[in-house]
Amino acid sequence: MTERPSIGQKIAADLRAAIQAGELRPGDTIDSERTLVERYNTSKATVRKVIETLKSEGLLISEPGSRIRVRQVRRLDRFGSTRHLTSERPDGTAPLEAEASSQAIRKKTTLIEVTTTRAPGGVAARLQIEPLSPVIVRRHLIHLDGHPAAAAESYFLPEVVAESRIMLPETISGGVHAELARILGTPLTEAVEELVARMPNSAETEYFRLPPGTPVVELIRTIHAGERPVEVTEWLFDASRHRFIYRVPMD
């Protein structure tokens, strides 16, 4: 025998359904606490608990003046299967630049630093070097539509990128991969991506200004030139601002 849902569960289900159906659109204000109390013949405590639940699910957000709105977030479609193909983007543009431009999303990439460090174990394994070997790292923060949305740490072998623009603390026109292919004298041939979704820690929540209930996605990408790994990037994404799209051949 199936138990009847509680009043709180019904209110939450009704609001979720209205959001999913587009009856409540991103940015819309939901009915007031008083209206919901009267409509469902329930208590303020029950309504407040429902609102907190939907906020923790990332569906609602509080605004000054006690207004509760449907959370308004645009997602960047990240086309993992094709984004690195030069034929899929305008000449001289990097993958993220091309994706953001085609989707009318404002992108700002800030280079935090370029420095020499010791390779963490996972990075060393993917670059096929000894743990704690010296590597060059470029650290970036990416904003989408004015919001911090992703952070990236890209690791390179010093002997590969020595005396190249990759060593300089500046943004590289056309993207790092074009520069990497130039100094290698050979095309980059493969990108292997590993994704893990999880809840953020307190520092990440603050860094990305994440509402309660918002997960992050870790993505580790290894770039190869032939059989040789030449770059490892550790990405951290605000999952609410990205959609990861992959096309997988079936034949």
pLDDT in tens, 184-238: 999 999 999 999 999 999 999 999 988 878 899 999 999 999 999 999 999 999 9
Q: What was the pLDDT predicted at 110?
A: 95
- Its domain, for residue 147, covers 76-245
Q: 33-40 and 44-56 helices cross at what angle (nearest 10)?
A: 120
Residue 73 bridge partners (DSSP): none
Q: String of b and e for 120-129 (b: at least 16 CB within 10 Å)? A: beebbebbeb
Q: Are residues 178 and 226 in the same domain?
A: yes
Residue 1 maps to a domain: no
Q: Are 222 and 235 a contacting pair, CB within 8 Å?
A: no
What's the pTM value of the predicted model, to 2 decimals? Answer: 0.81
Q: What was the pLDDT predicted at 1?
A: 46
Q: Are residues 102 and 39 in the same domain?
A: no
Which residue stretches of the chain have pLDDT < 50? Answer: 1
Q: Are residues 114 and 64 in the same domain?
A: no
Per-residue CA distances from 52 to 7, 23, 33, 58, 61 (Å): 15, 20, 12, 10, 9
215: DSSP letter = -
Q: Are residues 87 and 171 in the same domain?
A: yes
Number of domains into which the chain is organized: 2
Distance CA 227, CA 188 (A): 10
Q: The domain that contains 229 carries what CATH number?
A: 3.40.1410.10
Q: How many CB atoms lie within 10 A of CB 216?
A: 24
Q: What was the pLDDT predicted at 2?
A: 53
